[in-house]
Structure formats: C-alpha cells, structure tokens
Amino acid sequence: MTDGAQQAAAGKAKTETFAVKAYAAQNKTAAMAPFTVKRREPRAQDVQIEILFCGICHSDLHQVRDEWDNVMPTVYPCVPGHEIVGRVVKAGSGVKKHKEGDLVAVGCMVDSDRTCPNCLAGEEQFCESMPTFTYNGQDKILGGVTYGGYSDTIVVDEAFVLRVSNKANLPGTAPLVCAGITTYSPMRHWKVGKGQKVGIVGLGGLGHMGLKFAKAFGANVVLFTTSPNKIADAKRLGADEVVISKNPAEFTKHANTFNFILDTVSEEHDLNIYLSLLKRDGNMTLVGAPPKPAPVSGFSLIFGRRSLSGSPIGGIRETQEMLDFCAEKGITADIEMVKIQDVDKAYDRLLKSDVKYRFVIDMASLKA
Ligand code: NAP
Ligand code: ZN
C-alpha cells in the first residue's frame, strides 16, 4: 500500500509529502548511491531543516551492512545519518523553540512516546515504546521506515530539534549529537570528575570526544589504543597517558586503579582485561556496540565488586546541556570533511581505524 492509501485505510487525513535528495544503501553489500526520499510537509509542531553537515558514525556502517541483524535488522533502502546540523527553512505555526534561519541539530532520535516514565523523566533514549530513531526507525506519521541525515532536508518535531549557537563551528558540532552525547552522558551519570582516574578505550569518533570530556571534567585520563600512530594526537586531545593495548604487559601497572572506564570499541575485543583495571566499586561502561557478544568472566566483576554497564546516547534535555557546555568550553569534534560521493571510502577507512577523528559529510556535495 502507498503511504496515502495506508493513511486512508487508517481513517487519517493524507499527509502531504515532497521529494528530497539522499544517499542510500540498497542492500548490505551495495555501495551507497543517490536515492530520493519523501519528507512530510511540516505539521504545526514541525521544523523543516536544510541539512548542511552530517557526521559519519560507525553505527551507520554497522546498520548499512546489517551487522546488527539480530537486534535491529536493517530495512532497505537505508539512508543513514544521525549527526545532523542545518538551518531551519520552515517552521510550523505551533513551533515555539525555533524559527526560520536558526541553526539547529538533530541526533539519533526524532520522536518517542513522550508518556512513559522514562520520557517523562527526560530520558527519551529509554522510551518504553522505543524512541523513533532518525533512520531505520518506524515512521509513525508516513508509515514505513525513517530516513536519516545523508540527505539535503529533514522534517522533525521541534521537541527533538536542538539549538546550536550561531557562533558554532558547524562541521565540528555535527558529531556532538551522537559521538558527543554518547560519551558525555555516561560520564555525567557515573560522576566523572577531579581526583578520578578514567580510561577511554579506542580512539575514534566516540573515543576522541570521550578524551575531551574526561579532561574537561578534571579527571586523570588514560587512553587505550591499538594504534601507536595515535599517541601524539591522544595527548593533544586530553590523554595524560597512552597505553598500547596490543601489549598486555603494559596493563599490569594499571591493575585495580581506575574509577571508571569508557569502552568505545566497535569490534570484538577482550573486556576482562579492562575490568581487571577497575578499583573497588569501579565501573566500566560499554558504548561501543560490536555485533558479536563478548564473554565476561564473573570473577572479573566479583573481585572488587566491579560493575559493567552500557549506555545509549542521551535524552534531549541532556543533549542540549552538552551542546551548551561545548559552546561555553569551545569543545568541538576534530573532523575530516568528505563529499557524499566518498562515503564508502570513509567507511573503508573506519574499518582500518583510520579516522581523525570523525568524518563529516559536506551536504553541499549532494547538490553537485
Ligand atoms: P570509530 O570512529 O570507527 O572508532 C572505533 C575505534 O575502536 C577505532 O578507531 C579503534 O581505535 C578501535 N578499534 C577498532 N577495532 C578494534 C579492535 N578490533 N580491537 C580494539 N580496538 C578496536 O567508531 P565510533 O563511531 O566511535 O563508534 C564506536 C562504537 O560505538 C561503534 O560500535 C558504534 O556503533 C557505537 N556507538 C554506540 C552508541 C551508543 O549510543 N551506545 C552511539 C554511537 C556509536 P584505536 O585505533 O584507538 O584502537
Ligand atoms: Zn552515532
């Protein structure tokens, strides 16, 4: 059934749509290619955003290649992208927070049920009905699947649109709404601060934001990396010390010393070796989402009453708080700008851990 027919069958008035340019994967092995998606005409509470820049998250790669097929299977065609900054080109009659011309950002969620206890607590990322993800989510208005930021325009309910300072470095701001909030939120939750020893595992998009925030919060920061060529950058980004994780001998002197470790690694790796570095009651939080489950030894946790947890992005209120914190402290992502036509090359480099430290698509290239 078409969208209009589905809506008619459901007794709803048909929502008007318009076509916009995008880039999509047609299946899990295809190269990303031009595609046209339909966006809804803005409703009273919606803003229409011209997308200027969109970050490339490793989640885009996992999703496009259907690597999370047992948890979040990919619906094709898939238009990824959830690190969006742009300009409001139209605001519905009921929109209060944003107006035409404003700079705004959209992260990983475009809606949630807004009624469950988690949404009411401002933690929409834990919505009991599942948040509507920016891409590969269920489009509650048009039906079908949501399409993300590898596109020239998106229409979003104002409640899920973030304010961006008009002084912001826009390409460096785009990654904040996924890589930024995903590292900021668990460090706030676990109260990372002065006098603490904090580990960041992996220096990619999330890891480099993790370093910046851990440093800004006053912690003593150790980076664990598989890439010796990233040592100098790690120190510039906030690491007090760098451990090459391919060398287990280097771990010994850090045993039982960390208050908190943030694991941002995208592929299979040993968790137990990091758990053994936590001191009594220390916590390790996984934000990296490797497709394959990792074995955890009970003893890694039992000795030291350590805990292992996970954390998804952050709620809208906290994402705005993080953007405002970054604007005040002058924090942005270190980015490498790419054209949309080169997105597959960027994915290939992500797989080689060759990222410094976030690829951001200049959406003007989509118009070319
Ligand atoms: P990324 O830029 O590709 O960085 C991942 C880093 O992990 C690499 O640069 C590399 O750092 C390290 N790494 C890669 N393969 C490794 C291996 N086999 N063993 C050890 N280390 C390895 O990825 P990202 O965009 O930061 O995303 C990281 C992960 O977080 C992905 O799984 C992504 O899906 C997930 N994610 C989760 C959330 C959430 O809400 N929880 C949000 C966004 C992303 P070194 O070179 O320093 O070793
Ligand atoms: Zn992401």
What pLDDT digit, counting tens, does each position of 184-209 carry? 999 999 999 999 999 999 999 999 99
Q: Give the bridge partners for 163, in sequence order.
A: 104
Residue 189, helix vs strand vs coil? helix
User: Is any ligand 1 atom within 6 A of the Cβ of residue 289?
Assistant: yes
The length of the chain is 368
Proportion of the chain in helix, strand, coil states, percent, rounded to 5: 30, 25, 45
- Whether residue 180 contacts residue 325, with contact meaning beta carbons closer than 8 Å, is answered with no
Q: How far is the CA of 129 from the centre of ligand 1 (A)?
A: 27
**In this predicted structure, what is the pLDDT of residue 189?**
98
**In this predicted structure, what is the pLDDT of residue 11?**
52
Instruction: Give the rounded percent of residues in the chain with a pLDDT score beyond 70.
Output: 96
What distance in Å separates the CA atoms of residue 1 and residue 7, rounded to the nearest whole number?
9
**In this predicted structure, what is the pLDDT of residue 368?**
81
What distance in Å separates the CA atoms of residue 136 and residue 145, rounded to the nearest whole number?
6
Residue 210, helix vs strand vs coil? helix
What distance in Å separates the CA atoms of residue 365 and residue 152, rounded to the nearest whole number?
10
**In this predicted structure, what is the pLDDT of residue 12?**
56
**In this predicted structure, what is the pLDDT of residue 331?**
98
**In this predicted structure, what is the pLDDT of residue 9?**
53
Ligand with the closest atom to the CA of 208? 1
- Whether residue 187 contacts residue 217, with contact meaning beta carbons closer than 8 Å, is answered with yes
75 CB-near residues (< 8 Å, 6+ apart)? 136, 145
Q: How far is the CA of 202 from the centre of ligand 1 (A)?
A: 6
What pTM does this model have? 0.96
In DSSP notation, 42-82 reads P-TTEEEEEEEEEEE-HHHHHHHTTTTTTTSPPPSSB----
User: Is any ligand 1 atom within 6 A of the Cβ of residue 57?
Assistant: yes
User: Is any ligand 1 atom within 6 A of the Cβ of residue 106?
Assistant: no
Ligand with the closest atom to the CA of 287? 1
233's enclosing H/E stretch is helix 231-237
**In this predicted structure, what is the pLDDT of residue 2?**
46
183 CB-near residues (< 8 Å, 6+ apart)? 206, 207, 209, 210, 213, 262, 264, 287
**In this predicted structure, what is the pLDDT of residue 14?**
79
Q: How far is the CA of 311 from the centre of ligand 1 (A)?
A: 14
User: Is any ligand 1 atom within 6 A of the Cβ of residue 58?
Assistant: yes
Distance of alpha carbon 50 from the chain centroid: 20
Q: Whose CA is nearest to atom 4 of ligand 1?
A: 204
For strand 335-338 and strand 358-362, is the pairing parallel, antiparallel, or unpaired?
Answer: parallel
Pocket test for ligand 1, best of 56, 59, 358 (most atoms within 8 A of CB): 59
Within the chain, which residues score under 70 in pLDDT? Answer: 1-13
